[in-house]
Amino acid sequence: MTTSFNLHRRAVLGAIAALSSGLAAAQGKPETLQTLRIGLQKSSTLTTILRTRGTLEQLLAPLNVKVTWHEFTSGLPLLEALNLGNIDVSADVADTVPVFAQAAGANLTFVAQESPSPSAQAIVVRADSPIKTVAELKGKKIGFAKAAGVHFLLIAALEKSGLSFKDIEPAYLTPADGRAAFERGAIDAWVVWDPFLAAVQKQSAVRVLADGRDLASYQRYYLAGTPFAQARPDVLRVFFNELQKAGVWVKQSPKDAAALLSPVWGLDAGVIELANSRRSYEVRAVVPAALTEQQRIADAFFAEKLLPKRVNALDVPLFKTGA
């Protein structure tokens, strides 16, 4: 009798232990829980939508992955953090930023690319400025964020007008500092991207000297640290698929998207709708043929002695979005 009781008791305890182990695995033990650290900027529209909706948290929970978000003022420090392993994935950065990262030897993988949005960045002057053409920027002080897409736009616009980067006085400024300097007259022109461009157009009297059309196609890239891309392709596929869905939704529901982003960004919905109308938000896999302009960008920066060495834009790992 005692032996039978003990056997029964051990069986029950074993079943309880197995059940508890199963529940712990489903809920994610602290020691096995992995964190996906995502870096983003204010202009990271699609990633901001995923963050606001909690989409990734819901989809990655079954994979025992939680998500944390880390905001940066511009793309270059974002990719520096990615290369140092302080974050795992970067939301979209302008096409110029990876070139600087490549020149610094960063170990990054291209995850996705947004198709061109050339009018989503522009060179602007105040409405009362005597400057009417890009050629008249010679000798002027121009504000922009270093390594941002607008940096290449400025170089391309100057070259088309017969000028070089040495013909202007650069002022490297974050979008917030650039707006303040522009409005108080501390710089003669400002080169900026959406939604900051849309905001200054809606809220101040400005003129556009040139945007990216016929100059810079402005493709934005999503990247990951190569070690993370190799270790967790399953997580990156979820990220890629949800970016694509968010991009389609923004274009199909512009007012709803603007209403969602307005309180998050602290911007008027009309400003956001204007900005979003100029972005493609078409998220696609990165293929070598789509990196042609990356080489143009790299060559232009090297020619202006802004890069320490030549960069082969094709010499980057490309994430395979398929299973």
Q: pLDDT tens digits for the chain (323 residues)?
A: 444 434 344 443 343 343 333 333 333 333 467 999 999 998 899 999 999 999 999 999 999 999 999 999 888 899 999 999 999 999 999 999 999 999 989 999 999 999 999 999 999 999 999 999 999 999 999 999 988 899 999 999 999 999 999 999 999 999 999 999 999 999 999 999 999 999 999 999 999 999 999 999 999 999 999 999 999 999 999 999 999 999 999 999 999 999 999 999 999 999 999 999 999 999 999 999 889 899 999 999 998 888 889 999 889 999 998 75
pLDDT of residue 323: 56
Q: What is the pTM of this model?
A: 0.83
Assign 3-state DSSP to the chain and report helix, strand, coil percentages, each to 5. 50, 20, 30
Q: How far apart are CA 162 and CA 159, in angstroms?
A: 5
pLDDT of residue 321: 82
Calculate the alpha carbon distances from 295 to 119, 135, 281, 300, 301 in Å.
21, 25, 22, 8, 10
pLDDT of residue 156: 95
pLDDT of residue 93: 93
Q: How far apart are CA 195 and CA 275, in angstroms?
A: 5
CB-CB neighbours of 67 under 10 Å = 22
DSSP 213: T
Domains of the chain listed by start with CATH number:
34-117+219-303 (3.40.190.10), 118-211 (3.40.190.10)
DSSP 166: G
Quick one: angle between helices 196-203 and 269-277, nearest 10? 120
